[in-house]
Amino acid sequence: MTPQPDALSLALQNRIRQDVQSMHAYAVQDSTGMVKLDAMENPHRLPAHLQAELGKRLGALALNRYPDGRVNDLRRALAAYAGMPEGFELMLGNGSDELISLLALACQVPGAGVLAPVPGFVMYAMSAQLQGLAFIGVPLTADFELDEVAMLAAIAEHRPSIVYLAYPNNPTANLWDDAVIEKIIDAVGAQGGLVVMDEAYQPFSSKSYIDRIARHSHVLLMRTLSKFGLAGVRLGYMMGPKALIAEFDKVRPPYNISVLNCEAALFALEHQPVFAAQAADLVQQRERLMTALRAMPGLQVWNSDANMILVRVLDADANAQASAPGAGGDAAGRVFERLKAGGVLIKNISKMHPLLANCLRLTVGTADENTQLLAILEKSL
């Protein structure tokens, strides 16, 4: 038989989508031995006695069986936890990332588009592009507020199938103006589109859309247990009117929630006070960080309703800064490297979007971690 040394490269070239070939895989920074303040993880773990108790529960599960009706217990527990209104339904995803992908999959009709303010969560654009939907990114204002005029104009022009509003937003950490949100929701509804309120940061936020969701029949509310304290478990959920959720549930892979994920999430919900105390600590730490950061010359700090803080490193050349943020060079990159050399890993988002020039995103850590962050930051500016 003639050898086929080129079979692999032929397959790679000809059988893999061109757009996939030119993509970059989602990069996870190496964080071995570092203080990890880059991914909005809850830095707290379960107390030792609960770890042992959970271990026993997980060990006793029938891993030889496919997941069964136990996921319905989890759906009910999450609905109760969230205060889901009557007539609504809840579906589970392997992280809310999976739900975002499933929404794009189900909405893939010719000409369909997904619209979201930018800078925003990268998965909205990525899931749309992978599914062949147009992505329309509408820039926020320079202060990261919704640009009402631009949003309404883009909705009228593009008639998107889905509009994502992260409440609060990632990476800017702020909540947007409620009156503007309502206008956007009404405009999307008027042209037959859907709005997804993404409340990934709900445990740290002063507000939730859950109280208003029953007013609309075209609004979905998405949450995740990742920032709550279970990033490793991978559990997202989405609530909406029954008829809508029923359609999205059809494209969900069967058994997408493993018995381990399901049981760990149920266990966490049975111990809500533990997680609530962790969230309260992080909110307190956020306020402490905010005060300290605001006192540092050379930093611009934005309000946060999440477990992250967006800052801009102001260039030494204040005039260059005023005329064009970041025009004076890679000040944020230098601070990022100094923090890294000092053992603190944060996220350098300065190249993510022009509005984020010289911006860094800091995840709120434990009291000790934040002390380390502040000490190195002070020396780095």
Ligand X SMILES: *Cc1c(COP(=O)(O)O)cnc(C)c1O
How many other C-beta atoms can be found within 10 angstroms of the C-beta atom of residue 304?
24
Using CB under 6 A, which residues numbered 206 to 265 contact ligand X? 224, 226, 236
Identify the H or E element spanning 224: strand 219-224
Which one, 106 or 166, has the nearer CB to ligand X? 166
Q: How far apart are CA 212 and CA 88, in angstroms?
A: 13
CB of 142 to ligand X, least distance (A): 21
- Would you state the structure tokens that stand for residue 31, as one six-digit string? 């964080």
Interaction with ligand X in 318-347: which residues (CB under 6 A)? none
Minimum separation from the CB atom of position 349 to ligand X (A): 12
The number of CA neighbours under 13 Å toward the Cβ of 25 is 3
Strands 347-348 and 359-363, how do they pair?
Answer: antiparallel
At 211, which helix (H) or strand (E)?
none
Stretch that binds ligand X, among 3-11, 95-103, 212-220, 280-288 (CB under 6 A): 95-103
Contacts (Cβ under 8 Å, ≥6 apart) of 148? 180, 183, 184
Min dist CB 369 to ligand X, Å, is 19
- Binding segment for ligand X among 89-97, 256-264, 279-287, 325-333 (CB under 6 A)? 89-97
- Residue numbers 99-138 binding ligand X by CB under 6 A: 121
Is the bond leading into 67 cis (omega within 30 degrees of zero)? no
Peptide bond into 168 cis (omega under 30): yes
**42, 170, 256, 350: which one binds ligand X (CB under 6 A):** 170
Number of residues forming the site for ligand X (CB under 6 A): 11
* Residue from the set 78, 89, 90, 97 that interacts with ligand X by CB under 6 A: 97
Q: With respect to ligand X, which residue has the nearer C-beta, 127 or 380?
A: 127
Residues that bind ligand X (CB under 6 A): 95-97, 121, 166, 170, 198, 200, 224, 226, 236
